[in-house]
Amino acid sequence: MLETPVVSPNELFSSGQIRLAELSVFNWGSFHGLHTAKIDPDGTLITGDNGAGKSTLIDGLMALLLPSSKTSFNIAAAQGDRADRTLMSYIRGNYGKAHDGTETAILLKRSGATATALRALYRADDGSEITLAALFWITQASNSLSDLKRLFVVGKRDFRLEELLHLFGEGNARLLKQHLKEDPLVEAFDSFSEYQETYVRLLRMENRNAPALLSRALGLKKIDDLTSLIRDLVLEPSQVKEHARQAVSEFDDLVSRSSIHRRWRCKHPHGSAG
């Protein structure tokens, strides 16, 4: 029987490919409760009827990789530039509308205080693992993002949602953060930008546009401008324009100095420019 190699935190992903191994969602869209999908290293096909939850599952991954302000959920089915799903609609579990003849009500799986959790486990060929996780909770019947509380986690080990939810308990965020702080292999963030900086470094994403490119790839049938897609997301950031602008500026400065020098020589034909 082959043993899984033990890798120190400082040697995470030192060699080989890094692959998504598991994706977990808790109270996310139509997935009520905890659900985990294992991803085969040779590839996994996600298929099903309309409404089966294919996009919902993948959008859970995108919510871990991109801030909500830059995430376009269910992009493959979006009409025009309008997406029918948002972070809050996934947390609330919107599943339809009801008409009573006078008004339309949105049907929700979770209408009051609730919590949602997401997790992505990455595994490399050398056996090292890293977990990205997010916890969202709201304490009232509100659909405003300003009332939504968030915590992002990066674990240098397999950090499961069962553990996260157990520590969170009935909503004790302070106790949860204290437990996470005591774990040397787990780091918690209130800020998405700090969390993203950490996972980008640990997953060795040399092109920081990789998450945005993945998001666009999920909606390949809705690419309006392929040239812009390649230029903005695929190519590495270039400083050519800035360097060219700087060169022109220095040339202009040289021309200006030369002109001043010529005028001075005309006024002082026998003098010295010192």
Q: Evaluate whether 49 touches 39 at the Cβ level (below 8 Å).
A: no
8 Å CB contact between 187 and 154: yes
Residues contacting residue 146 through CB under 8 Å, at least 6 positions apart: none
Q: In whole angstroms, what is the distance from residue 74 CA to residue 83 CA?
A: 7
φ, ψ of residue 249 to 5 degrees: the values are -65, -40
Strands 129-138 and 104-108: unpaired
Query: Would the CA dihedral through 152, 176, 165, 182 be positive or negative?
Result: positive
CA angle 208, 212, 214 (to 5 degrees): 105
Per-residue pLDDT, 175: 92
pTM: 0.73
Q: Are strands 129-138 and 149-155 parallel, antiparallel or unpaired?
A: antiparallel
What are the per-10-residue average pLDDT scores of the chain (274 residues)? 54 73 96 94 84 88 89 64 78 84 82 95 92 96 92 96 94 93 96 94 82 68 58 61 72 68 71 54
Would you state the structure tokens that stand for residue 11, as one six-digit string?
A: 């040697």
From the centroid of its chain, how far is CA 13?
20
pLDDT of the residue at 4? 52
The two counts, helices (H) then strands (E), for the chain are: 8, 8
Q: Which two tokens stand for residue 169?
A: 């308990």
The answer to whether the CB of 89 falls within 8 A of the CB of 76 is no
Q: What angle do CA 225, 228, 233 make, to 5 degrees?
A: 125
Tell me the C-alpha distance between 73 and 63, whole Å: 9
For residue 120, the cross-strand partners are 23, 132
131, 138 Cβ separation under 8 angstroms:
no
pLDDT of the residue at 188: 96
* CA angle centred on 14, ends 13 and 17, rounded to 5°: 55
